[in-house]
A and B are shown apart, each in its own frame.
Chain A
Amino acid sequence: MAESLASDRRDEIDRLVGFVRALRSAGIRSATSTDFIEAVGLLDVGAREDVYRAGRATLCDDPAQLPVYDRVFARWFGETGVGERMNPMTVTVERPLGLGADDAASGDDGDAADAPALASARERLAHRDVAALDARERRELARAFAALPARPPQRRGHRTAPSHRGSIDLNRTAREQLRRGGEPGPLLRRERRPRPRRVVWLIDVSGSMKPYADSYLRLAHRSFQSAPRTTEVFTMGTRLTRITPALRLQDPDRALAAAGELVPDWSGGTRLGDMLRAFGDRWGRRGVARGAVVIIASDGWERGDAQLLGEQVAQLHRLAHRVVWANPHRGKAGYEPIQSGIAAALPSVDQLVAGHSLATLAEVLELAARA
């Protein structure tokens, strides 16, 4: 009897631990078992909603994880009851690794760290349109992306550090004065330290961008890895999806695969205006875009209302420090920004730049750092 109770309990714990493992492999990296098991123990292990709530409280720490959590929970504990809740970010559908599976290097050719090879590949690929590369070249390209230098743009911060210039540091001055028995001494100063400026990537993953989306996601991954605290990345398709959590994975291929899990709408249509509005409502005005360098990566094919797009970019422009639009067609001969979408957006864009080859994409990254 006691034995079977104990083994019941062991089964129960195994199941909970397995669930946590499944969450982790679905990209919820904050999940660890200890708190979860303690929390379940304080509620009713037998009640499905209690397990659900204990898990949400202890395993998730970001609203973007909630749809993933719900999906894995349903798979692990069955469909009924909880689960059909409104999620705040996006509706995520079941889908195998969306991108990176065929074109991004899953295997390396054993020469990953071979600097000369990388350099020559970079040279060969520098000005080629990434849409025209074969599988092998794409692998080289992926490696070249991973080696691009990235750093965040800077702004003057509010925190200060001791300095010879700058404003008077009352606290340190006072302390020194007390140390001298109250005798006034030199005024000590402090200066605002430069701080990384926020960078926001909005990447169009609709059908027309298919050949380029992978490259932009790799750029964004580099950018994120250089400043994880101040970089946010979203994809725009039929829905807006925040993929920042997935980019925490250091390995670019794994990060892109995890991002693929989050994005429900690869290669569908885009309604850029709606996407930017969703971004503004959900994130932009709450501070994510405020003072930020915003990079929109899109070919500007708008299936929705071009006027709405114009308004939304204008609004973004008012909040942001700079709005940069990277367009894979910009660098090509005969390009004119006449697609209704980009034409409407142009008045509020600080810079419209090319982005179709390694060289032009590297420049986008550089531009982000200098903005």
Chain B
Amino acid sequence: MTAVHDVTELAHRLASTGYLADTDLTTVGYLALTMQRPLLLEGDPGTGKTALAEALADAFELPLIRLQCYEGIDARQALYDWDFARQILHLRTLEAAGGVDDPQAVEDSLYDERFLLARPVVRALRESPAVLLVDEVDRADDEFEALLLEVLSTYRVSVPELGTISAPQPPIVVLTSNRTRDLHDALKRRCLYHWLEHPTLEREIAIVRARMPDVSEKLATRIVEVVQGLRSEVGLIRAPGVAETLDWARALHQLGHDDLDVDAAAATVGVVCKYREDGDQVRAFVEATVRG
């Protein structure tokens, strides 16, 4: 069901979910699906990395299982853990029933399948076909990458007390990184790689129109022009991504605008910048551009 015949078909499927990918990205996506390899997406925040995993799940009607990475994440949060509270409860129940004579049998019953808490990776293996999104890997420690590499090379997780959990069919795996640091070569080698740029003017207008059909073409165009200018001409701490474009369009639309004038822009511009330090520069640029 995840088979696609060619790049164009994948582009259509993604577009049907509202995700508009260019040919470079669609081609890598097609290769990743066909070669059954994880896809590593790097790029600035808001370039649609996370959204691609969501769109793939949507397009192929698969569950999306998300592993959000953070500093300090380890196997217990990513693979599986044991449910200590229930294990203790079980132990007490055994004691009450007087059945604790054979320590080995007790231990075996404690590390039973039903006390296993499946975390995203194990869930993805079990539920596959599924889409496993490993989001923002660059936030995790590099030791964690070694763990990921092992799973993504074998699509198996071994639980010493239980045996091996494997996927009959490997899940579609998307890893994203905002590139706050380099990832391990070995992990990158395992993946197909794509560096995502911000969309072009035309594509970004199309994205606004696809995500928010009610927004007028005129408004979408004006907003995207301003945002694209902010990205290329103003040195901001954090350049606005597509997410900010969409937020801005939503705000203006909800206030009943179908064009961008100075007052409307001034009232809503806060949506576009995520850092307070950027505020003045953004306001000045927006005002100058909108005035024309």
Contact = CB atoms under 8 A, between A and B. Distances in A.
Interface of A: 30, 32, 35, 38-39, 42-43, 49-50, 53-54, 56-58, 60-63, 66, 86, 88, 157-159, 171, 174, 177-179, 181-182, 195, 198, 229-230, 244, 277, 280-281, 285-288, 290
A178 B179 contact: no
A158 B69 CA distance: 13
Interface in B15-46: 23-24, 27-28, 30-32, 34-35, 37, 40, 42, 44-45
Contacts of A43: 7, 27, 31
28 contacts: A32-B189, A35-B37, A39-B35, A42-B31, A43-B27, A49-B23, A53-B24, A54-B27, A57-B27, A57-B28, A57-B32, A58-B192, A61-B40, A61-B191, A88-B195, A171-B76, A178-B84, A178-B88, A178-B107, A181-B95, A181-B103, A182-B91, A182-B95, A281-B235, A285-B238, A286-B44, A286-B178, A288-B180
B197 A42 contact: no
B125 to A, nearest CB: 22
Contact of B35 (A35, A88, A159, A179): A35
B42 A56 contact: no
B31 A30 contact: no
B28 A229 contact: no
Interface of B: 7, 23-24, 27-28, 30-32, 34-35, 37, 40, 42, 44-45, 71-72, 74, 76, 84, 87-88, 91-92, 95, 100, 103, 106-107, 110, 138, 141-143, 178-182, 184-185, 188-189, 191-195, 197, 235-239
B197 A157 contact: no
A268 B241 CA distance: 34
Nearest to A39: B31
Contacts of A281: 235-236, 239
A286 B141 contact: no
A288 B35 contact: no
A36 to B, nearest CB: 10
Contact of A57 (B44, B107, B194): B194
Contact of A63 (B32, B37, B42, B180): B42
B65 to A, nearest CB: 23
Main secondary structure of the interface of A (DSSP, over half): helix
A244 B179 CA distance: 14
A6 B283 CA distance: 63
Given A53-B28, A88-B195, A178-B91, A287 B35 contact: no
Contact of B31 (A58, A88, A158, A177): A58
B41 to A, nearest CB: 11
B251 to A, nearest CB: 25
A66, A88, A158, A290 interface centre (most CB from chain B within 10 Å): A158
A29 to B, nearest CB: 8
B141 A157 contact: yes
A42 B42 contact: no
A229 B180 CA distance: 12
Contacts of A61: 40, 185, 188-189, 191, 193
B188 A287 contact: no
B182 A159 contact: no
A53 B27 contact: yes
A106 B23 CA distance: 44
Contacts of A177: 88
A181 B45 CA distance: 49
A103 to B, nearest CB: 30
B16 to A, nearest CB: 22
By Cβ-Cβ distance, the 7 closest A-B pairs, closest first, are A287-B180, A158-B72, A61-B188, A57-B28, A53-B27, A61-B193, A174-B84
A62 B194 CA distance: 9
A285 B27 CA distance: 31
A42 B34 contact: yes
A365 B253 CA distance: 56
A195 to B, nearest CB: 8
Contacts of A86: 197
Nearest to A60: B193
